[in-house]
Amino acid sequence: MSLEVDEHREYLSDHPRLAAFRSAIEEVVKPDHVVLDLGCGTGILGLLACRAGAKRVYAIDEGGMIELARAICGANGFQDRVRFIKDVSSRVELPERVDVVLADQIGQFGFEAGLFEYFSDARRRFLKPGGVTIPRRLDLYVCPVEFEGMWKQVDFWNSAPAGFDFQPARSLAANTGYPVKFNPEHLLGTPEVAWSVDPSSCDGVSLNMRAQLNVTRPGILHGIGGWFVAQLSPHVTMSNSPLVAQRINRRNVFFPLDRPIVVQKDDHVFVSMRILPTQVVVSWNVEVWRTDPYDPTHTKKTKLAQFSHSTLNGMLISREDLQRTKPTSIPTLNLWGQARLTVLTLCDGLRPLADIEREVLRQHPDLFPSLNEAATFVAEVVTRYAR
């Protein structure tokens, strides 16, 4: 079985997630509504919309899962109401406006799965005036966390595995956001909403967030935890928060600090974040302050630590790739690029695929020892770029 299919088994086995979407769709979708399902996967959200009375559903997905979604839709008798479109939604044109746009393109910290980009495009081009989206609001929460096990993953690179110095990797590790599942005992304070938005009205260019977090128990601050609460409909929410009873099976994010800090009750942790959703880049700056307990005015404060991190500094980029992307570089196609160009040039609307495969083999014999290998390469190109 495809691992992608098994991934969707996990989604469908997540009963809190499924129950939340079912309730929200039943609350929002009315008979005769037209619905758009973005990134439809198995098509489950579209099926729930049909069951709620939608007269038509447009289900969009760019991957091979769309064929399975078609089969599942037919097995449930809704093939007359669902139109499947294999493409990226931003490249699609619909024949009509829709009443509801729905999707579960919500990452561990809310933004990572492209929700803002796809929803803002869908609102602008597909949604009727007065139409609604599911989800309609997204709240991003941050909290100071104590999690020695996660921080040890960062500090592992100081441990000299096999007696060798691996410290050059330490900076990359400290500038990485880690997927993790927090439990309540990991929290050092009360979570705060750092940012709240209607995802369909956000351009997604840059999110700037600030929060003051109060430490409520003594412990060791290892980093900042992040998660989301999605308002799916007026009366239905969905969250991966470690504090909600009906928590969905989606991990949180751990943003590490360069070194642990011992904190006391009533210390303050100031967090500022800048997120570039399209590039999936997060920068986090953290300051830890303590109020002098002997100061009767409670105004005398001491800064215990300050940290600045960014996933930009955690990216693996080779010097060869940096050289190629310099504005002054003059790029030329390698042999595989030339073969791809050959395929694209031959897709002129006149040649059948079999002729293109044979011509690619003739022009690039050093790359393709057989017609089968040339055909595999051609198929990869035409399924991505041809109609």
- The DSSP output letter for 311 is G
The stretches of 209-332 forming alpha helices (DSSP H) are 319-324
Burial class (CB within 10 angstroms; exposed 0-12, middle 13-18, buried 19+) of 382: middle
**Three-state secondary structure call for residue 274:** strand
- CB 57, CB 50: distance < 8 Å: yes
Instruction: Count other Cβ atoms within 10 Å, centred on residue 383.
Output: 10
- The DSSP output letter for 187 is B
Closest listed residue to residue 147, CA positions, set 304, 294, 271, 252: 252
- Helix 353-363 vs helix 371-385: angle between axes, to the nearest 10 degrees? 120
CA of residue 29 relative to chain centroid, distance: 26
226 has which bridge partners? 142, 253
Instruction: Count other Cβ atoms within 10 Å, centred on residue 244.
Output: 14
Q: What is the pLDDT along the chain (387 residues), one digit of tens a residue?
A: 578 898 889 999 999 999 999 999 999 999 999 999 999 999 999 999 999 999 999 999 998 999 999 999 999 999 999 999 999 998 999 999 999 999 998 889 988 767 888 888 999 999 999 999 999 999 999 999 999 999 999 999 999 999 999 999 999 999 999 999 999 999 999 999 999 988 887 766 788 999 999 999 999 999 999 999 999 999 999 999 999 999 999 999 999 999 999 999 999 999 999 998 888 899 999 999 998 776 676 677 899 999 999 999 999 989 988 888 899 999 999 999 999 999 999 999 999 999 999 999 999 999 999 999 999 999 999 998 888
pLDDT at 1: 54
In angstroms, the CA 35 to CA 294 distance is 61
pLDDT at 297: 67
Q: Is the pTM of this model over 0.85?
A: yes
- Cis bond before residue 135 (omega within 30° of 0): yes
Q: Phi/psi at 292 (nearest 5 deg)?
A: -65, 115
- CB 221, CB 144: distance < 8 Å: yes
CA of residue 238 relative to chain centroid, distance: 16
Any residues with CB less than 8 A from the CB of 163 and at least 6 apart, and which? none
pLDDT at 239: 97
- CB 377, CB 339: distance < 8 Å: yes
Q: Are strands 82-86 and 56-61 parallel, antiparallel or unpaired?
A: parallel
Q: Tell me the C-alpha to C-alpha distance, in Å, between residue 208 and each of 205, 282, 283, 284.
A: 10, 10, 10, 10
